[in-house]
Structures are given as C-alpha cells and as structure tokens.
C-alpha cells in the first residue's frame, strides 16, 4: 500500500515532520511517500492561503494517480481542496482536520481544538460544521502562534501550546484535545504526557484511516458529486490539469 502525504506549503520542514509522524504509525506493509507543492504559500493561515495551495494539491494527486498511490493525506488543518482532490483520486483522500475530528469523537464524547492564530478559529469552526462535529467540539482555542513559529521557536512554542491545552482541560469539560495544525504533528505524544488526556493530531489519524479504508477495498465513490470531473478544455496556467475523456 502506498500513502502519499501532501504538504500544501513550500516549507520543507513541515513535509519532513508530517512524513516522520506518518511513518511512526504506518503498518509494516505501508509505504509512506511525501510530496510538497511546487508553488504557493510558506504556511496556511487564511482562506487566501488555502485557495493558493489548492492547485498544487491537485497537481500532486494527478501525479500520484499515475504512480499508483492508494490514498492521500492533505497535511493542512484547513483541509484545503479536499473535495476537488477526491473527484480526481481513485483511493481515499483525507484532510487532517476531518481525520482528527473523527478519531477524537470516538475516544471522547467531547473535545476541544487548540490551533494557532485567533483568525484560524473561525476557519476551524466552519470545518466542524461542514464535517458534522460541531456538537462534539466544546471550544476552538488559539495559542496565538503563527504557523512558522512552530519551526522557529521549538520547545518554547510547545510550552505555549501545552498551557492552552491545560486551560482547555480545566475549563471546557472535555475528554480529548485535537491539535489544529500540521506543524504540531511531532508534539502530540509530549503534550499528552503533560496534560493526561488523549491528544489527537491529524497526520497520524488520517494515515491510519486510509490504511483501514484501503484494507476494506474501498475507494472514493465515482457516483454523484465525487465522480470524475467532466472533460473540458482549460486555458492558461491550469491547462496541464485538463481531464481527459474516459471510456
């Protein structure tokens, strides 16, 4: 089985971190691949950033389909472009927010999300509604860090995240924490040890969900809205993403 972790930013450190997290939980027969978009933002912290990253995600999935990839993890907590990606993929495509919400809702009846900047709280709240988990999530919290600070300040950033997680446990009446950024993929175990409740991050959650879906011999449905897009002529900078007619 081949699972591809797609880093939708141009920051290579995030790709390395997500790859290590996925490899740490993957089964022995699973090959974990890591790719990044060739152009786009260095981090994703807005709707604008998400839109800029989507073309790169679709490019990587087109390449992965030609290389026989079985499933894809979109390693950004905004789940950018996940529905468009599913339209062109045979196997499962899972964003890390959706994966983390699913796992958190299984191990606890209520959870809170700890994310980065305050502006991303609204994006996360919208995702909770879209994915159907707004009733299980008690609160979305921001630790006030920019995404790139997770790389630049190391454990100092981790301390800020731990403190916000402690407040969530003390104040939100929850049983689990979801970490709201792919840049936190290496912190889950440490934070869980510090606060004593289950801590879920989406890269590992998505990796294991994809393994299970592929093992069940299931893929993305090609009936309804996730069917392959209708072939049409494209122009300009996206012409290379044209969908060829199918037999």
Q: Rounded to 5 degrees, what angle do the CA atoms 182, 97, 88 make? A: 100
CB under 8 Å to 77, separation ≥6 — which residues?
95, 96, 97, 100, 115, 120, 124, 127, 180, 181, 182, 202
225 dihedral zone (left: phi>0; alpha: psi -120 to 50; beta): alpha
Q: Mean pLDDT, 10 residues at a time, over the chain (247 residues)?
A: 97 92 97 95 94 97 97 97 98 98 98 93 96 97 84 69 95 97 91 96 98 98 96 92 83
**Number of alpha helices (DSSP H) and beta strands (DSSP E) in the chain:** 9, 8
Q: Say what the pLDDT of residue 246 is.
A: 79
Side-chain half-sphere exposure of 12, counting CA atoms within 13 A: 1
Q: Say what the pLDDT of residue 247 is.
A: 65
Q: Which residue has the tokens 């030609």?
A: 66
Q: Say what the pLDDT of residue 36 is.
A: 96
Reported pTM: 0.94
Q: Which residue has the tokens 């996206």?
A: 238
CA 233 to chain centre: 31
Q: Say what the pLDDT of residue 10 is.
A: 94
Q: Say what the pLDDT of residue 41 is.
A: 94
Pairing of strands 71-74, 93-95: parallel
Strands (E), the chain: 2-7, 31-36, 71-74, 93-95, 111-115, 137-142, 176-179, 199-200
Select from 128, 94, 92, 132 the least CA-distant residue to 113: 128
Q: Would you say 113 and 138 are in contact if contact means Cβ atoms under 8 Å apart?
A: no
Instruction: Give the chain's domains with CATH numbers.
Output: 2-95+204-241 (3.40.50.12500), 97-201 (3.40.50.12500)
- b/e map of 4-31 (b: 16 or more CB within 10 Å)? bbbbbbbbeebbebbbebbbeebeeebe
Write out the H or E segment, with its range, that includes residue 155.
helix 155-171
| Nearest-angstrom CA–CA distance, 190 and 119 | 26
């Amino acid at each position: 089985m081949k699972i591809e972790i797609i880093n939708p930013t141009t920051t290579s450190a995030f790709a390395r971190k997500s790859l290590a997290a996925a490899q740490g939980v993957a089964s022995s027969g699973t090959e974990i691949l890591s790719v990044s978009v060739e152009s786009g933002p260095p981090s994703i912290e807005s709707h604008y950033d998400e839109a800029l990253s989507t073309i790169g995600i679709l490019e990587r999935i087109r390449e992965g389909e030609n290389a026989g990839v079985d499933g894809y993890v979109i390693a950004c907590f905004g789940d950018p472009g996940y529905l468009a990606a599913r339209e062109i993929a045979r196997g499962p495509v899972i964003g890390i927010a959706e994966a983390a919400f699913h796992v958190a809702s299984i191990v606890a009846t209520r959870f809170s999300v700890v994310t980065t900047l305050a502006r991303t709280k609204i994006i996360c709240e919208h995702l909770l509604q879209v994915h159907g988990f707004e009733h299980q999530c008690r609160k979305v919290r921001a630790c006030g860090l920019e995404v790139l600070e997770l790389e630049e300040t190391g454990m100092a950033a981790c301390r800020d995240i731990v403190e916000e997680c402690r407040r969530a446990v003390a104040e939100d009446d929850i049983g689990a924490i979801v970490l709201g950024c792919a840049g936190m993929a290496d912190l889950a175990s440490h934070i869980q040890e510090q606060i004593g409740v289950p801590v879920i991050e989406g890269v590992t959650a998505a990796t294991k969900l994809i393994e299970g879906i592929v093992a069940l011999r299931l893929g993305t449905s090609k009936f309804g809205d996730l069917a392959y897009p209708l072939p049409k002529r494209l122009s300009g900078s996206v012409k290379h993403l044209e969908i060829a007619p199918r037999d």
